[in-house]
Amino acid sequence: MSRKIRMGMVGGGRGAFIGGVHRIAAAIDQQIELVCGAFSSNPEKSRLSGEDFFLDPSRVYGSYEEMILQEKELPEDVRMDFISIVTPNHVHFGPAKLALENGFHVVCDKPVTFSVDEARILVDLVEKSGLIFALTHNYTGYPMVKQARDMIREGKIGKIRKVVVEYPQGWLATKKEDGDHKQAAWRVDPAKSGMGGAMGDIGTHAENLAEYITGLKITEVCADLTSFVEGRRLDDDANILLRMEKGVKGVLHCSQIAVGEENGLNIRIWGETGGLEWHQEEPNTLIVKQLEGPATHLRTNVGTLSPAAMAAARVPAGHPEGYLEAFANIYRNFAKCVQARLAGTEPDPLHTDFPTVHDGLRGMVFVEKVVANSKGTEKWTKL
C-alpha cells in the first residue's frame, strides 16, 4: 500500500525565496509531507521556521548533519525518506553527500554543486548507492516543453539546424547586492555561487532546456561574458555561440542586467521541415511552424498532445498552469519513483522524466568551459 513520502528540508527558512517554492511544489500533488528540517544555520531561525510549518519541534534541527544522523535513527515508518536541499550553491554538496551516504534520496536545487569536482563525486555516490536524485531544472516540467521534446523525437520538424535559447532577466541591473537583498548577495559572491554568476544561476537552465528539448548535446562554445555592474566579480551577462551534435548551430544568451525583463527564458528551434517556439512567461503555448504554411499554436490540454505533455497538466485547457505546477511535476515524478521503490515495483516510465545528478554535472562542465572560453583567446572550446 502506498503512502505519502516524507521530506526533510535543508535551508529555506523564513524569508528565503526558493525554499518556499520547493515546499509548495512538494505540497501541490499531496504525495509528499514535510516532516523535518534544518532550515537555517541560525538555530533560533530554524526553530521559528519549524513553527511556521507546524512541525514537531523535536524534528527541527540545528544543522543538516544533525538532521540526517538523527532521522536515520528514527523508526522506518517515521523517518524522512529524502532531503530537499534549497541552500546557496556552496552548501549543496555537503548535505547531498551525507544524505546519499546515509541512505536518503535527494532533491537538490541547481546548480548541483559549487564545482565540477564536487559534482563528479555526487554522480559516483548516486551510481553506487542506487538512490534517487532529482535536480530541480524546473523549466523542463512544463507540459509544452515536454510536448516540444516529444515532437522532435518523432521527427515533426525534421533534422534540427538551429537553436536560439535566451534567458534575459533584469533584477541585477543595479548593485542590489550592496543592500539587504539576501539572494542578490550570495548570487554575486564567487565564494558562494561558484565560477558562474548569471551563467550558474540561469545559463544552466538555458543549457539544460536546449539539450532536453533537442536531445542533442552542446559540443563547443564561444563565449563573451561581462560583469556590467561596476565592482561585481561574477558575470551578469553572457553571449554564447553554440555548436551542438549533428551539425546544429546556435546562440545562447542570458543576462541579469536586461532592465525590465522578468524571467524571460525562451527557446526557438528550427529543423529542416518545421520550427518550434516556447516562452516561459506564456508557458501554455507552443508555436509550431511549417514550410510554406501557417503556424499552429498548440496549447496545454487542447486536443491530443504527447503522453508526457498530458501527464504534466492538471486542469483543462484555458486554466493557466504556471511555474509552481511545472516545479511540482519534478516533485511528483520524484515522489512516484520513491513510492515505487518503497513498493518494490518499477516506476511508470512517465515518472522517471526529471533531471538528475547527470544533468547537474553537465551544467557544471558547461559553466566551466564557457568561463574558460570567455577569458581566453581561442575561438571555440570543446565540452
Residues 72-101 that bind its own copies (CB under 8 A): none
- The reply on whether position 289 binds its own copies by CB under 8 A is yes
Q: Return the residues of window 132-171 that contact its own copies according to CB under 8 A.
A: 157, 161-162, 164, 166, 168-171
Least Cβ distance, residue 16 to its own copies (angstroms): 13
Query: For its own copies, which is the closer residue by CB, 29 or 150?
Result: 29
CA–CA distances in Å: residue 172 to residues 29, 166, 181: 33, 17, 10
Helix (H/G/I), strand (E/B), else coil: 209: helix
Query: For its own copies, which is the closer residue by CB, 220 or 358?
Result: 220
Q: Return the residues of window 170-199 that contact its own copies according to CB under 8 A.
A: 170-171, 173-174
Query: For its own copies, which is the closer residue by CB, 154 or 292?
Result: 292
**Residues 99, 257: Cα–Cα separation, whole Å:** 37
Least Cβ distance, residue 147 to its own copies (angstroms): 11
Please say whether the beta carbons of 349 and 50 come within 8 A. Answer: no
Pull the grid cell for residue 203: 545559463
- The reply on whether position 50 binds its own copies by CB under 8 A is no
Query: DSSP letter at 109?
Result: P
- The reply on whether position 21 binds its own copies by CB under 8 A is yes
Query: For its own copies, which is the closer residue by CB, 129 or 226?
Result: 226
Q: Return the residues of window 197-216 that contact its own copies according to CB under 8 A.
A: none
Helix (H/G/I), strand (E/B), else coil: 347: coil
- The reply on whether position 345 binds its own copies by CB under 8 A is no
**Residues 361, 340: Cα–Cα separation, whole Å:** 26
Q: Judged by CB under 8 A, which of 48, 120, 219, 224 binds its own copies?
A: 224
- The reply on whether position 30 binds its own copies by CB under 8 A is yes
Query: What are the two backbone dihedrals, phi and then psi, of residue 90, each rounded to the nearest 5 degrees?
Result: -75, -5
**Residues 53, 200: Cα–Cα separation, whole Å:** 30
List CB contacts of 76: < 8 A, sequence separation 6 or more: none
Query: For its own copies, which is the closer residue by CB, 118 or 166?
Result: 166
Q: Return the residues of window 228-247 that contact its own copies according to CB under 8 A.
A: 228, 237, 239, 241, 243
Helix (H/G/I), strand (E/B), else coil: 380: coil
According to DSSP, the residues that pair with 60 across neighbouring strands are 37
**Residues 143, 195: Cα–Cα separation, whole Å:** 32
- The reply on whether position 295 binds its own copies by CB under 8 A is yes
Q: Return the residues of window 254-283 that contact its own copies according to CB under 8 A.
A: 255, 257-264, 268, 270-275, 280-283
